[in-house]
Amino acid sequence: MRLLVTGARGMLGREVAAVAEARAHETIALGHGDLDVTDERDVRAVVAGERPDAIVNCAAFTDVDGAEAAEPEALELNGRAPGLLAAAASATAAQLIHVSTDYVFDGAAARPYLESDPVRPQSAYGRSKLAGELAVRAAGPQHAVARTAWLFGTGGRNFVATMLALADSGQEEVAVVTDQVGSPTFAGHLASALVDIAERRLAGVRHTAGAGACSWNELARAAFAQAGLACTVKAVTSDHFPRPAKRPAWSVLASERADTPRLPSWEDGLKAYLAETREGRPRR
Interval 120-140: pLDDT, tens? 999 999 999 999 999 999 999
What pLDDT sits at residue 282? 41
Total-model pTM? 0.96
Interval 146-174: pLDDT, tens? 999 999 999 889 999 999 999 999 999 99
What pLDDT sits at residue 278? 74
| Cα separation, 217 vs 48, whole angstroms | 47
Q: Can 113 be counted among the known catalytic residues?
A: no
Q: What angle do CA 253, 72, 35 make, to 5 degrees?
A: 80
What pLDDT sits at residue 136? 98
Domain segments of the chain as ranges: 2-158+185-211+254-263
* Residues comprising the chain, all counted: 284
Q: Which residues of the chain have pLDDT under 50?
A: 280-284
What pLDDT sits at residue 279? 53
The active-site residue, picked from 103, 113, 125, 273, is: 125
Q: Classify domain 2-158+185-211+254-263 by CATH number.
A: 3.40.50.720
Element at 22 (helix H, strand E): helix 11-22
| E strand map for the chain | 2-6, 26-30, 54-57, 95-101, 144-148, 151-152, 173-177, 181-182, 185-186, 204-207, 214-215, 232-236, 250-251
Check: CB of residue 129 under 8 Å from CB of residue 101: yes
- Give the SS3 label for residue 251: strand
